[in-house]
Amino acid sequence: MDFELSDEQRMFRDTLRSFVEKEIVPVASEWEREGRYPTEIVETMKELGLFGITVPEEYGGLGIDMVSFALVFEEIAKGWMGIAGILGSHSLSCWMIARHGTEEQKEKYLPELATGQRRTAIALTEPGAGTDLQGIVTTARRDGDHYVINGTKTWITNARYADPIPVLVKTDPAADPAHKGMSVLLVEKGTPGFSVLKDIPKLGYKGTESCEIVFEDCRVPVENLLGGVEGRGMQQVLSGLETGRLNVGARALGIAQAAYDAALVYSRQREAFGQPISDFQAIQIKLADMATKIQAARLLIYWAASNADKGQRVDMQSGMAKLFASEVAVEVALDAMRIHGGYGYSQEFVVERLYRDAPLMTIGEGTSDVMRMVIARSLVSGKESIG
């Protein structure tokens, strides 16, 4: 059992770390307060090939292993979680097209998605359906050689830049069970009837937009049905969410690590009663708990990613990793703020931003309670076990 990164993975991590420290960390807090879109950072990510991390090499991507995939989101989230969000939705969508698309769809979209010339997102959530995806009401009616989409999606990251955007729809609203009537359609930017209404104001997760989008008699060619067969949308989405949970878990790990790093540095510098506060037992206990939880989360994420690299289903593993890491991110961000005292509440210190970013990790790609149900379902069914 090897708990170490390979030399190649370590070099990849170091390249990511250098990029984050030079181009993201110095501007993240200022740009977040200004509401500025990180265009320059996106351009560097294109140059590094990061938009192609889930695109197979034969289509021009990096096709990296899942441990390296987790490293991408851990390192970038340490600098600014919003940047990781730009890459996260894109990577999930690329993975779905690469895994489930027809050969024509792969050839049309993946080479340009790999370079960032095209970018993408994924449209699942609706105003009345989040966790319960079978409850969506967006429909796509077949009309000759087109589908006509009507409905609304919300909380869509990258919505203003996505081309195409995979949209989960009901091609057979009367199907029972509902998932048998669900499909994914690839909607290209500029298609008549497809519009982005507004950016949704958020507590954290800034830098990238989260939008409400609407489809009004939006006509999409039949050849844009992902995989070319109706009724497979739910399975396609759920398989993609396995990688999505590794992505979010790794982002949570990055937030927790950044919060711990800031707290450790501050505790060594801040003095009280004539000595650094890091000398006080109360602070030492907090730091020890933070470091232990972070390392446990890291091992869970790498374990889940390693199993995914073996070609295994990782519902339980990715669920455990995402559940634990996201809860740790919230706990560690709050403890880092407490160690900073009043300064932790100031925008002049990074922990204030990390504290606002952390809670989304317990919600995105399935809430913590949903993760518990995913884990329990795997255990109760006998498909997975521990020990």
Active site residues: 365
Q: Over the Cα atoms of the chain, what is R_g?
A: 21
CA distance 74 to 298: 9
Sheet with 146-157, strands from edge to edge, namely 182-187, 165-170, 139-143, 146-157, 210-221, 194-199
CA distance 83 to 255: 12
- H or E stretch at 44: helix 39-47
Q: For 364, what's the count of Cα atoms within 13 Å in the CB-facing half-sphere? A: 30
Contact of 165 with 214, CB cutoff 8 Å:
no
| Structure tokens belonging to residue 386 | 């521990």
Is the peptide bond between 164 and the residue preceding it cis, with omega within 30 degrees of 0?
yes
- Concatenate the DSSP letters of all residues of 277-293 into one string: GGGSHHHHHHHHHHHHH
CA distance 354 to 255: 6
Cα dihedral across residues 285, 334, 80, 64: positive or negative? positive
Contact of 350 with 258, CB cutoff 8 Å:
yes
CA distance 185 to 360: 27
- Residue the block writes with tokens 């792969």: 106
Position 186: which residue type?
Answer: L
- Residue the block writes with tokens 């009043």: 342
